[in-house]
Chains A and B, each alone.
Chain A
Amino acid sequence: MINKLLKLAFPIALVLSMLLVSCGPAATSTPLATEPPPAAPTNTSQPAEPTAPPAEPTSPPAPQPTTPPAEPPKPAIDPTGQTVTFWHVWGTGLPNDTMLAIVDSFNATNEWGITVEAMDQGGYSNLEDALNAAVQTGDLPDLVTGYTNAMANWYAVDAVVDLTPLANDPVLGLSQEDWAAFYPGAIEGGKAPDGKLFAFPISQSANVIFYNSQWAKELGFDNPPTNYAEFKEQACAATEANNNDDNPDNDGTGGLVLYASASNVASFVFANGGTMLNADKTGYDFSDPTVVDVANFFKDLWDSGCAYPTESYPNPEFATRKALFTVSSTAGLPYQIAAFDAPDAIKDEWTLIPFPGKDGGQAVNLFGQYVAIGNTNPERMMATWVFLKYLTSPEVQAKWIGGSAYYPTRSDTLQFLGTYKATNPIWSYGLSFLQYGAAEPAWPSWTSVRRSVGDTFSAILAGTPADIPSLLSDLNDTAAQAIIETQE
């Protein structure tokens, strides 16, 4: 009898426990710990503010009405009353809260009665899977975020549309001042090879180098490296320091944590003034000297023992003097700042620096947070554009930046970021790099080519210097094939 009761009790207990857990009262205790103040940026020769705001509009300006109408002009396509679905990837924390607040504000105030429904789709790969499936069924979202190379694929199959007509709409489009305010690189990053604007930048981050300036000074280097020779000298000095100290656990560390990904390769290529594309921008060219120099530089650092890999994000290594340099997106700043709070961290001063070129160039690799408009119907697309215009307006973009820690895509947003800049000095310092920004190719083939770039550079690190020309030549062939496959 007892056995039977017990047997009956267990499923009931299980269900009850799950119900209790799931229906439990909302937790009320400790809020999230506030972000600790970041380490102050060190005194470097870099300017604190962007020095070269875009001077030219990046797209033809919208025609302006010459005489003020008696009543507000009506748009050719009426967006009134439309519902807009927005698929995004910011599903938790402050970015999610901020985006939802922006959407709520738009829904409450827009004069067209447009309703936006923001829907988190997980990570970028989940979102891409969902959109690829939606392409098959035709149930497209109105607005979708994603990587530009994925969007280029969607544009190629007409799943997303050219934004130029919407952005230049006489009534609801962007003004000449708006166009002029956008950073040219950000707009260019959303254009197809035919010049059509299929993706629009709502914010951006950058691939940069984290640099332990305090340790570098102790090693005898007062300034960050500005070319390959200086970079190698500092990385090798740090490695030597770790090899020669009393701690055997840090032997072999100290220089650059090197992960031969396409984004890191591209960053160094941009600093050499290269683009990885051929002269007429019709294909890739990995035999260009700007790429070959990067391959030789990586190989030299690796073989000298001044670069090494880690299995995960190298934030702890950077915070414990196991790396003088690491490479990271600026979106990784909160994680790096947190790593300096660990008990075994060394509270050094550190900063961001751009990637150095072989002979003195510098660049950062811009990662834009782009959105595209789904190919639905004219009214919905116009309503979506109205929301997108609102989302990228200076004041609203400033709210988004404050919640996401990304960088703005238009210069006039900065006027609303005074407090944020003051309280986030390292982020603020990174603003100065936007002028050096370049973006990876927004080509459909880049999705597979970037994987091949990573594989090739890993092979370069594992092989001999003599292998480099043939490996890069093979990469050219693979990339050419990828272009053909994406055009079929």
Chain B
Amino acid sequence: MDSPHTSKRRNRKPAWLIFRNLSTYLLLSVGVLVAIFPFYWMLSTSLMSLGEAQGTRLIPSEIHPENYVDAWEEADFSRYMWNSTRITLMTLVGELTFSTLAAYAFARIKFPGRDIIFTLLLTTMMIPAMVTIIPNFLTVTWLGRIGPIKWINNWPALTIPFMGSVFSIFLLRQFFAQVPDELFDAAQMDGAGHLRFLWNIVLPLSKAPMMVIIVLSFIGTWNALAWPMLVTNSPDWRPIAVGLYSFIGEAGQMINLMMAGAFIAVIPILILYFFTQKQFTESIARSGLKG
């Protein structure tokens, strides 16, 4: 039996371990501060007067909660928030549907030219979005002219081009390809075809990548500015980022109202991430897609 003295000595951690732990926590604390500071600055600035917000103060000398009301009214946020909501939901549903089907085909159905088509698809990820913006604009204009629905200044131009995402197809294809063939064979013996196998077996196993797609697509659509500005010319379908942009003037910015607006705009993203962070983190860790 150890004497109390011996036990005390055994419980004491070596100095290098304490130093390592301290360093780790210090580093992580710095990381947390770096990550939190922009949010703090946004919140703090949103509560300042315009004059104070233009300076370098970090704490408001006087709280101005009315900035939130002003921002909401000035930038017609109720309309833009509703527009962003419906654009995002339509895009999400479309992206999940088409990306899932395409990814499944690339992962589990053999057809001539499959790998070449998939490679070609991947190469499109290398082209900067700004390069294709005018050709895409011409395409949606043309589609609006030949089709029954107008595309410009309407939901099709804002949603349909984003329903086919190469990144989502790639991500899902990698997960679908890992599903063992034996599962498909068993499902086939029970009379299931590809669609039933996808719906009943593959998708329930792929919640994590689906969550990643939902979160990334949601953020991308919610924050979109350049494309919506190009394909809309009235507030009927413009998203929330346009409302934020309106606080930038010719010779200055209403920075306090802009930050109040930004805080309002970021709330849905925070809620979504709060509910999906477990699957999101899991998927990122599993797929090795860290920053």
Contacts and interface: CB of A to CB of B under 8 A. Distances in A.
Contacts of B57: 342, 344
Contacts of B276: 10
A87 interface: yes
Interface in A113-158: 117, 119-124, 126, 129-130, 132-133, 136-137, 139, 141
A456 B270 CA distance: 45
Given A22-B82, A22-B85, A121 B74 contact: no
A328 B268 CA distance: 38
A343 B52 contact: yes
Interface stretch (A13-21, A290-298, A393-401, A468-476): A13-21
A133 B61 contact: no
Interface stretch (A51-59, A61-69, A221-229, A329-337): A329-337
B119 interface: no
Interface stretch (A25-33, A173-181, A416-424): A25-33
Given A14-B271, A331-B250, A139 B137 contact: no
Interface in A311-365: 312-313, 315-316, 319-320, 328-332, 334-335, 338-345
A332 B252 contact: yes
Contacts of A316: 54-56
A313 B226 CA distance: 24
A32 B55 contact: no
Given A23-B82, A316-B56, A30 B268 contact: no
B121 to A, nearest CB: 26
B239 to A, nearest CB: 11
A335 B252 contact: yes
A130 B78 contact: no
Contacts of B58: none
Given A126-B229, A344-B55, A335 B50 contact: yes
A91 to B, nearest CB: 4
Nearest to B249: A331
A147 to B, nearest CB: 11
B38 to A, nearest CB: 16
A85 interface: yes
B181 interface: no
Contacts of A137: 137-138, 141
A119 B234 contact: yes
Interface residues of B, number: 52
B55 A14 contact: no
Contacts of A29: 66, 69
A24 interface: yes
B268 A17 contact: yes
A120 B247 CA distance: 13
A335 B253 CA distance: 8
A85 B233 contact: yes
B182 interface: no
B216 interface: no
Given A14-B268, A17-B268, A329-B251, A130 B50 contact: no
Interface in B33-88: 49-52, 54-57, 61-62, 66, 69-70, 72-75, 78, 81-82, 84-85
A320 B78 CA distance: 38
Contacts of B251: 205, 313, 328-332, 335
A248 interface: no
Contact of B226 (A15, A33, A129, A332): A129
A129 B137 CA distance: 11
A343 B268 contact: no
Contact of B55 (A15, A33, A339): A339
A338 B54 contact: yes
Contact of B81 (A18, A93, A120): A18
Contacts of A119: 233-234
B167 interface: no
A24 B85 contact: no
A139 B141 contact: yes
Contact of B246 (A17, A91, A319, A330): A91
A92 interface: yes
Interface string B124-164: 00000000001001100100000000001000000000000
Interface in B243-291: 245-254, 264, 267-268, 271-272, 275-276
Contacts of A205: 250-251
Nearest to A132: B134
Given A129-B229, A133-B138, A329-B251, 15 more contacts: A14-B272, A27-B72, A30-B66, A85-B233, A133-B134, A133-B137, A136-B134, A137-B138, A328-B251, A335-B50, A335-B249, A335-B253, A338-B50, A342-B57, A343-B52
Interface of B: 49-52, 54-57, 61-62, 66, 69-70, 72-75, 78, 81-82, 84-85, 89, 134, 137-138, 141, 152, 226, 229-230, 233-235, 242, 245-254, 264, 267-268, 271-272, 275-276
Interface of A: 10-11, 13-15, 17-19, 21-24, 26-27, 29-30, 32-33, 85, 87, 89, 91-93, 117, 119-124, 126, 129-130, 132-133, 136-137, 139, 141, 205, 312-313, 315-316, 319-320, 328-332, 334-335, 338-345
Q: Which 4 A-B pairs have the closest CB atoms?
A: A332-B251, A335-B252, A22-B81, A342-B51
22 contacts: A10-B275, A11-B275, A13-B271, A13-B275, A22-B78, A22-B82, A32-B70, A33-B66, A93-B254, A117-B234, A129-B226, A136-B137, A136-B138, A205-B250, A331-B252, A335-B249, A341-B51, A341-B52, A342-B51, A342-B52, A343-B62, A345-B51
